[in-house]
Amino acid sequence: MKQVKAYGATSATSLIQPMTIERRDPRADDVVIAIDYCGVCHSDIHTVRSEWGPASYPCVPGHEIVGRVTQVGKKVKKFKIGDFAGVGCFVDSCGKCKSCKANEEQFCEVKTVFTYNSQELDGKTPTFGGYATSITTKEKYVLKIKKGLPLDRVAPLLCAGITTYSPLRRYGVKKGQRVGVVGLGGLGHMAVKLAKAMGAEVTVFSTSLDKEKDAKKLGAKNFVYSKKPENFAAWTKKLDLMINTVSVDHDLAPFLACLKIDATLVLVGAPPTPNQVSAFALIGGRKKLTGSLIGGIKETQEMLDFCARKKVFSDIELISASQINEAYERTIKGQVKYRFVVDAKTI
């Protein structure tokens, strides 16, 4: 075992603080990555504060990880020392079930081992995330990152990028279609960039009027101030797809009304309490309401390659590890454009 510097929480009410964790000695199929950057996802906050259920402590968050390979096991074929690599939201799965064989490891029917606040397949070894100086991961769950990319801006693609890319690809977004994006935060700004890169006309719906300029700068053609109900009228039955990134309680009916017949509203945000949905908001136009998680390793690699080709990267604010607690509070208040990224060299 190797001692590694990290930042994490010791309880649901404690601050994120320096600590030491253990990483396993690399196995034959393992890749060791010296972490350069790790994005701060809102789910990190929910998890360490036990807002999505009791967390296991100590809890070291972080699942938007990029860095350089420093060691490889003897059976590793895709990576060599010095390569750039990434680790996303999970680090293992059974590899044998129907979901795993379909490259949907995030839905493993036995156990998806998440990057942090989880246990390895042995059922007892805890996983620790990317607020650390290094990580050891099976080669199968490590992503290739092309040389020459801005690594700090690539890091959030490992969660925010794939979370929004996956439904856009699944529903076949292409040139000439109209896509709505609800919310313009860490997820929303990536949804705008990706939908635009796929050729869609993008409309942003936001409760913050001051985000209109940013929405247009990011690639949106239209902006709807969603605090005023009358602003929805012009968009009735106009959109082919909507990606809803909002993680607070809100009424879905006005957004469903914006969909064309048979069109879909995809939830990628996760409010702490259930949404109320009227049946009439769905049956009037055979509207579809669905959710989406992240993506499997194959789709995540596809997303990274797409972003490299199209030069689509996250808009970030780079912070030192000592600023994580402040970043959490600012994230909750929506005071970041649009993703905090921790410089792991400061850990």
Predicted local confidence at residue 249, as pLDDT: 82
Predicted local confidence at residue 271, as pLDDT: 78
Predicted local confidence at residue 209, as pLDDT: 92
Predicted local confidence at residue 250, as pLDDT: 87
Alpha helices in 198-287 (DSSP H): 212-218, 253-256, 279-283
* Tokens coding 90: 């999970």
Predicted local confidence at residue 334, as pLDDT: 85
* Distance separating alpha carbons of residues 92 and 106, to the nearest angstrom: 9
Per-residue burial over 106-141, b = 16 or more CB atoms within 10 Å of its CB, e = otherwise: bebeebbbbbbbbeeeeeeebbbbbbbbbbbbbbeb
Residue with tokens 């994580």: 324
Predicted local confidence at residue 205, as pLDDT: 97
Predicted local confidence at residue 92, as pLDDT: 97
DSSP state of 284: T
pLDDT tens, residue order, the chain (347 aa): 899 999 999 999 999 999 999 999 999 999 999 999 999 999 999 999 998 889 999 999 999 999 999 999 999 999 999 999 999 999 999 999 999 999 999 999 999 999 999 999 998 999 999 999 999 999 999 999 999 999 999 999 999 999 999 999 999 999 999 999 999 999 999 999 999 999 999 999 999 999 999 999 999 999 999 999 999 999 999 999 999 999 888 889 999 999 999 999 999 988 777 888 889 999 989 999 999 999 999 999 999 999 999 999 999 999 999 999 999 999 988 888 899 999 999 99
pTM higher than 0.75: yes
Number of Cβ within 10 Å of residue 174's Cβ equals 11
Predicted local confidence at residue 243, as pLDDT: 97
Give all domains of the chain, ordered by start, each with its CATH number. 2-159+315-346 (3.90.180.10), 161-291 (3.40.50.720)
For residues 163 and 41, the answer to whether their CB atoms sit within 8 Å is no
Predicted local confidence at residue 306, as pLDDT: 98
